[in-house]
Amino acid sequence: MRVVALLVAVIACSALAQPGSVFPSKDEKEMARLLEPQNVSSEVKSFLKSKMKSHNKDMRDLVLAIATLRYEDSKKFAQGIAVAPRLDKAAGASVELPPAYFTLQDALRKQAEAISAACDAKNPEDLAATFSTMMRTCVSCHNAFLVPQRDKPEKGKKKDAK
């Protein structure tokens, strides 16, 4: 377990030192800075929770495959994320999602495709950089949509005093 944690840390650190187009665009940086926890309805929260079940497993598998430099497995998991069904605001989703959700969803797809390309090249530096960029998107989305769900006590339950 320590080896995996060390590998993930090495990948993340090496990604910070890599120049090039794998870094987020100006718009993506702005989105990462601006996206604060979102107030969304309980219907949206429930919808997102159900959508994220398979996404959660794919991401866990991808992290481990990248950390251990299993290029074929990493590519398979990244492609699974890239081709996962998307919510389309033009099609009129069943719930009203904030525009930021769609921006992050598109960024995640683009970054998963970049991970797949880095796997084809078997280039650990590019893989680390693309993975780091994807993680920034993940953290931004989780901060906006997951943290508000997790931090808000359910009705009738008190938050534990610390």
For domain 37-151, give the CATH superfamily. Answer: Cytochrome c/b562 (1.20.120.10)
Measure the CA–CA gap between 146 and 76, rounded to whole angstroms: 26
**What does each of the 162 residues of the chain score in pLDDT, given as a tens digit?**
554 444 444 444 444 444 445 666 665 555 555 467 777 777 777 777 777 777 888 899 999 999 999 999 999 999 999 998 877 766 555 667 788 888 888 999 999 999 999 999 999 999 999 999 999 988 888 888 777 665 555 555 555 544
Which has the closest alpha carbon to 136: 29, 37, 60, 57?
29
The domain ranges of the chain are 37-151
Q: Residue 96 contacts by C-beta under 8 Å, 6 or more apart in sequence?
A: 41, 44
Measured N-to-C along each axis, helices 71-82 and 42-67 cross at an angle, to the nearest 10 degrees, of 160
User: Given the structure tokens 């940086």, which residue do they identify?
Assistant: 29
25: three-class secondary structure by DSSP: coil
Q: How many CA within 13 A on the CB side of residue 97?
A: 24
Confidence (pLDDT) at 118: 96
pTM flag (> 0.85): no
